[in-house]
Amino acid sequence: MDFSVIQQAPEIRALVQDSALIREFRDALFPRILFRGEAAPIHQPGEAGDSFVFTGNGLMTPTSGPMRPGEEPDPNEFPKEQWTMQLHQYGDRAPDTHMPTSILAIANLLVNNLRTLGLHSAQSLNRAVRNRLYNAALSGNTVATAAAGTHTITVARLNGFTTARRPDIVGGEPVKFAPVSTANPLVIHYRHSSTTYEATVTGYTPTYPGDECGPGVLTVVETVTGQVSDRDPVWADDKANVLRPTSLLSIDTMANSSTYAFTFGLFRQAIAQLSDDNVPKMPDGFYHSHFANYSKNQLFSSDEAQRLQTSLPDYYWYKEFTIGDVLGTLVFEDTETPRKDTVIGGKTNTYTGNLRQGDMFGGETYNATSVEIHRPIFIGAEAIFEYYNDLSGLLTEAGLTGSVGDFSNLVNSGVDINVDRVQVYLRAPVNVMGDIVTGIWKSIMDWPTRTDAAVGGTARYKRCVVVEHA
């Protein structure tokens, strides 16, 4: 505390007002809302609960040899695949505002509550998009969490193990990723005591009913008793391309940040993976990468990275929450990447499965030895879309009791907040005294992550790549 002359003079202190209240609310520390900006918005007519199916083409096998004279080519078939999305309603409610209290408070409580509600909607939807991207990028990668049963393997996350697409077998699903079954199995592998085994998943039981992201039990055809122990790595045949230092099979081997850090070599490997899979760049001509300051500090501590940064031009991307253009990639500092402070219920063995109180995140934030795991993500074009419903269509002839608007021009600490396509509803005072106002936000959206299993390598999702490091 600064030295105060007034505090040292009792006769003066008696004449001065003590601790005058400043009648305003100051902005809170708020993360940069960047993940939702990766999802291109598309208007989708429909109601909450409606499902839609999208179809993508594979490629015909190249035919580079010449034809014999008089020979006619046989039909050259090509694969197809489908992915789905379902519109859901998202929303939440601010504390009810007692208007007589609001008038007498240090500042307008109703305005403050609604402003905070707008920030809440922006952060909530941003995390929904983040989780969809990461779940795709982590799909089919997990560890066992118990010794195996006769035909069961208990895993930390079901993400990527509950559906399969099997055009290669009779009776298998030829186009769409459908639930695993005896007719539509998923081939997986697991590593135990330096030996890699193969198994065939035909069913699953989630720990939390209806949850295909969190923990659960896989049912396999083979007898696996004695072949799986707690924390053995488990991966699917069509697992996503997750990169780790020294090509580790799971996060548990990462014992310290010095040996298992985020290096420029891993950065180059991630970009090479997107390029090798023919993933197009974003409309701005770059791949995008998001990672927190912890990962940034590790990456840019190397001599190679520092030399690259020495002569980077000072242009507008550099000022808009991005480190710069590195290897054709825009690197964004993003404090909302999944870690202990940004994943609710995501710490090892504390996943809740509660859609309203937790995060549907398909990875673990800590490994078996309590080392925190960080995950930079690299994204190419069309990895995710935002399909939304125009909420103005919900108004009927009966009208509504209150007022509908939006969070236009929402700013926090001088930064514009993305609250596009979010509706705010102010319910008129309907209590007996007619003086309590309720504010809610709502939207009807979905963010499908498309698959690319019909072309290229075995990975189900190819348009986003994650690096895991200590």
Q: Is the pLDDT higher at 40 or at 109?
A: 40
414 versus 237: which is more confidently predicted?
A: 237
**Strands 216-220 and 152-155, sheet pairing:** antiparallel
Check residues 6 and 363 and name the one with the higher pLDDT: 363
Amino acid at 47: E
d(CA 137, CA 298): 22
Nearby residues of 468 by Cβ (< 8 Å), 6 or more positions away: 242, 243, 244, 251, 254, 363, 373, 374, 375
Q: How far apart are CA 389 and CA 88, in angstroms?
A: 10
**Interval 116-127: pLDDT, tens:** 999 999 999 999
Bridge pairing between strands 385-388 and 436-446: antiparallel
pLDDT at 18: 64
Task: Write the CA distances from 273 to 112, 370, 377, integer angstroms.
Answer: 46, 29, 12
CA distance 236 to 453: 13
Helices (H), ranges, 138-188? none
Using the predicted structure, report yes or no on whether residue 324 has a pLDDT greater than 70. Answer: no
pLDDT of residue 319: 47
The pLDDT, as a whole number, for residue 194 is 92
Model confidence at 303: pLDDT above 90 = no
pLDDT band at 382 (very low <50, low <70, confident <90, very high): very high
Token pair of 277, please?
Answer: 């899979």
pLDDT of residue 4: 62
Domains in the chain with CATH codes: 29-54+81-139+240-470 (no CATH), 142-237 (2.40.30)
Name the pLDDT band for 30 (thresholds 50, 70, 90): confident
- Residue 106 is given by DSSP the state S
Mean pLDDT of the chain: 87
pLDDT greater than 80 at residue 358: no
Distance CA 18, CA 76 (A): 86
Which of 11-15, 34-38, 152-156, 196-200 shows the lowest per-residue confidence on average (mean pLDDT)?
11-15
Residue 166 in this model has a pLDDT that exceeds 90:
yes
The string of pLDDT tens digits covering residues 70-104 is: 899 989 999 999 999 999 999 999 888 888 776 76
pLDDT band at residue 129 under the 50/70/90 scheme? very high
pLDDT > 70 in the chain, percent: 86
pTM of the model: 0.88
Q: How confident is the model at residue 316 (pLDDT cuts 50, 70, 90)?
A: very low
On the CB side of 138, CA atoms within 13 Å amount to 29
Query: How far is Cα 406 from Cα 411, in angstroms, rounded to an integer?
Result: 13
More confident residue, 445 or 407: 445
Report yes or no: 386 and 447 within 8 Å, Cβ to Cβ.
Answer: yes
Q: pLDDT band for 349, please (50, 70, 90 cuts).
A: low
